[in-house]
Structure formats: structure tokens, C-alpha cells
Amino acid sequence: MKKDLKPATFAAHAGGAYDEASGGVVMPIQPSTTYRRDEAYAPLNPDNVYIRPHNEPVRAAEAIIAQLEGAAESLLFPAGMAAIAAAFRWLPTGARAVVQSGIYWGTTKWLRGFAERRGIEMIEVDASDSAALAEAIGSKVDLAFVETPSNPWLKTTDIATAADLTHAAGGVLVVDSTAASPILTRPIEFGADIVMHSATKVMNGHSDVLGGVLSTAKDSAIWQAIKDDRADTGAVMGPFEAWLLVRGLRTLPLRIERMCQSAQTIADYLVDHPQISDVFYPGLSSHKGHEIAKAQMSGGYGYVLSALVKGTGADALKVAGRLNLFLRATSIGGVESLVEHRHTIEPHTGIPETLLRLSIGIEDAGDLIDDLAQALGQ
């Protein structure tokens, strides 16, 4: 398909991934784990030898994501954490990495263990503070990792500044942009070298696929090492999951538009609510990172927000328990709205007992506000 199409058009047509053989408007699923060779033992299709490195539905999804991301290439993985692991595994023993603090706990937990096992110096820093980030990176770094907006604090990091600091110190900048999606932010345009997404979340958007993706600004020795590692370790998404992901990607721009509009409306409602002491959402002018978000997010400020309920942890749990449309479950990015009491899930991370994280779906915003109102008692 033409490469200059708007994201909504390109995504709706799945980048032209139709079924040429049957004429179907939906691409087929090819579940074969291996592929035939001719009498001379040459592959009948040189692109397909074995499913671990060669998977047609995966390639179709990767092509769509790379186009949306403005990337040279994208690679799918069986989980978001598999993608993050691949983004770090190329680091040699003794390397130096700077990692944003206060991000998704699964990332922090794995990275701490990985760094300890590999003898990697890992510095954690509030990357939304550019001065603190500059001090942490210093004059030499191999990799810097930031998550913007962050989960669950919704902090925004200046990607361009992070890229300049990292590159000046000889390193690679990896950005987890899951809470933005490539529809709102394309980190490569701000200087990021590699972009990571948990495809489980809004990319798929239907709470039925586990996946992760890395996208690169350009081919490089590091990117080739990541590609080889994925093939050698078998960290590849399966064809059925990739087919479902393509289905989800077709509506990604439309879902993002609706979810961001509703998230903004709900954040505006909660920030003035007498039972809420604070709201964390980049779309609020009172948010510390609002100006940065405005500069690097286009079309909305994301689909996730967090709020502090006045009172105790028990009060916050009661609010979550009274919600009806907001389902009590752990994830973000689905078409259904979710609420999570983070302290119950991660009490060891210092999350306040009164914090509720809301993932906004595609429901009517008024209905969601009515649900919040009755749960908050107003």
C-alpha cells in the first residue's frame, strides 16, 4: 500500500495484508511449523523455512507496526517482558545502564536481577527530571531506558533530551511507549533508537493476546544481535496471536481517539471531586509533565490515569469494590475499562494504599463518570 496514507487508513486496511489466493479481505492464518523443500532441497518459498524465524502472520503485524511507528523494522515477541529482555540481553558483562525509576514493576524486578547476574551497573533515576537524568547518565552509558508516560504515576520524560544525553554518552536509548501507542507518540522522531510496546495492551486492545514488540530507528549491529537472539531463543509470537494482533491493529487509531477523549473527560471530573485528593494524567494542565506531553503527544494524552482517594487504603478498596462498569482486573489498554488497586498488587513498591489506576476503554464517558460518581458516593 501507499506509505503516505494516514495511520487510520493504513491500519484499517491492515497495511494491505489481504488473502491474494482466495481474494479474502482478511489475511489468512498459516499455522504450519515447517515448510516444504523441492527435489533439490531448496525451500519452495525462500522466506519460509521454519516457524521460529519465519512466521507470515507475525511479519504482517510487524510491517503494520513499523509503518505506524515510523521505524526501519519491528520485531514481535511472545510477551512485553520478552521484548524488554531482548532489548537488554545484548549488553556485555560490566556494561552501564540507566533505568527510569517508578515504572512498571515487572520491568524493574527483571532488570535488577539481570543486572546483578550479569555484573551490569544499573542506575535507577527519575527520568522525568532532566537534570537528574543527565547526572545519572554522565559521560558514559551503554543503554538508557525510559517509560513515558510511566505506569502508574503517569510521569512524562522528555524523549529528545533523553536521546541527546544518551547519545552524547555513547549509548542507546530505549523507550517504553506502551501508555502512549504509536498513534500518540513516535519516539523515533524524537531521537529514540529502539521503541518497546507491550502489544498485550492497547495495540491489541481486546484483552486476548499476549505479546511485545521492539522497533528500531535503523539497522545496526545491536539490532542484528537482538534479531539473532530472538531467533536462537525462539522468542517469537505464534501465528494465531499475530493474526489476532493484526485484527486489533486495524482499529487502533479509532480506539485511541475515543479512549483519550474519555480519559481527559474523566480526569477533568476527578480532579475537582471532593473525595479525590490528586489525579495523575498528562492531559491536565496541573500535571508536572503537561508541557512535555503536549510537545511529544499528538491527538491525546493517553488512556491511563491514576487517582488518590481521600482517606485510607480501605476507603480506596471500597470505591473499587462499588464500581460496576470498571472491571477489577490487572491490565491496561482494553476496550473495557479497568480499575486496579495497585497497593494490593505491589505493596512492596511503595505505592500509596489510596491509589487507584484506571484504564479507560471505549464505553460512553458519561456512563463511566456515573459509575465513578456512585462509587465515590457523590
Q: Write out the E strands in 33-107.
A: 73-77, 96-100
Distance between CA 270 and CA 272 in Å, rounded?
5
Contact 339, 309 (CB under 8 A): no
- Determine which one of 52, 89, 294, 318 is catalytic: 52
pLDDT tens-digit map of 279-337 = 999 999 999 999 999 999 999 999 999 999 999 999 999 999 999 999 999 999 999 99
Distance between CA 310 and CA 314 in Å, rounded?
10
- Determine which one of 142, 158, 176, 371 is catalytic: 176
- Determine which one of 96, 155, 186, 201 is catalytic: 201
Contact 74, 213 (CB under 8 A): yes
Q: Is 312 left (phi over 0), alpha (psi -120 to 50) or beta?
A: beta
Q: Where are the alpha helices (DSSP H) in 169-238?
A: 181-184, 221-233
Distance between CA 103 and CA 346 in Å, rounded?
12
pLDDT tens-digit map of 220-278 = 999 999 999 999 999 999 999 999 999 999 999 999 999 999 999 999 999 999 999 99
CA 308 to chain centre: 24
Does the annotation count 250 as an active-site position?
A: no
Does the annotation count 52 as an active-site position?
A: yes
| DSSP 8-class letter at 203 | T
Nearest 5 degrees, angle CA 83-CA 85-CA 87? 70
pLDDT tens-digit map of 161-214 = 999 999 999 999 999 999 999 999 999 999 999 999 999 999 999 999 999 999
Distance between CA 28 and CA 17 in Å, rounded?
9
Contact 91, 120 (CB under 8 A): yes
**Taking the domains of the chain in order of start, what are their residue ranges?**
7-249, 252-376
Does the annotation count 47 as an active-site position?
A: no
- Determine which one of 96, 104, 155, 258 is catalytic: 104
Judge whether residue 378 has pLDDT over 80.
no
Contact 192, 180 (CB under 8 A): no
Q: Report yes or no on whether pTM surpasses 0.85.
A: yes
The top-level CATH class assigned to 7-249 is alpha beta
Q: pLDDT value at position 137?
A: 98
Share of the chain above pLDDT 90, in %: 91
Distance between CA 84 and CA 38 in Å, rounded?
39
CATH 3.90.1150.10 is right for the domain spanning 252-376: yes
pLDDT tens-digit map of 90-106 = 999 999 999 999 999 99
Per DSSP bridges, beta strands 355-359 and 304-309 are: antiparallel
Contact 137, 165 (CB under 8 A): yes
The amino acid present at 290, given as its one-letter code, is H
